[in-house]
């Protein structure tokens, strides 16, 4: 099956929680909503297609939380997406 492998290539510390991953108080930790507890935001990704190789940035979009959206792919084709940390 065709596979899409996503890798994160660069990050920046989350400005909301200053990299701690929570924005609550010491006695009541609360997961940071901006970075979802990771303490960092994604600033770069690499997407590798088993058929086309490394995809150009125009083929996908990504969010600071690490969600990657593939563009211009046939919705009916079965594709296995391999996400970081999965």
**16 is a site residue for Zn ion (CB under 5 A):** yes
| CA–CA distance, 29 with 20 (Å, rounded to integer) | 10
What are the E-state strand segments in 1-86? Answer: 2-13, 40-49, 53-54, 60-62, 68-70, 79-82
Q: Which of 34, 46, 59, 62 binds Zn ion (CB under 5 A)?
A: 34
68 lines the binding site for Zn ion (CB under 5 A): no
Q: Does 17 bind Zn ion (CB under 5 A)?
A: yes
- Both tokens assigned to 20: 């701690």
Q: Is 35 in the site for Zn ion (CB under 5 A)?
A: yes
**Nearest-approach distance from CB 31 to Zn ion, in angstroms:** 8
Strand bridging mode 68-70 / 60-62: antiparallel
Question: In the complex, which residues of this chain contact Zn ion (CB under 5 A)?
Answer: 14, 16-17, 32, 34-35
């Amino acid at each position: 099956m065709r596979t899409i492998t996503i890798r994160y290539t660069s990050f920046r510390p989350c400005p909301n929680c200053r990299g701690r991953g929570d924005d609550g108080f010491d006695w009541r930790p609360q997961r940071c909503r901006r970075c979802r507890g990771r303490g960092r935001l994604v600033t770069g990704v690499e997407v590798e297609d088993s058929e086309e190789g490394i995809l150009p940035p125009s083929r996908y979009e990504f969010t600071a939380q690490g969600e990657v959206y593939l563009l211009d792919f046939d919705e009916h084709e079965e594709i296995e997406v391999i996400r970081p940390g999965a």
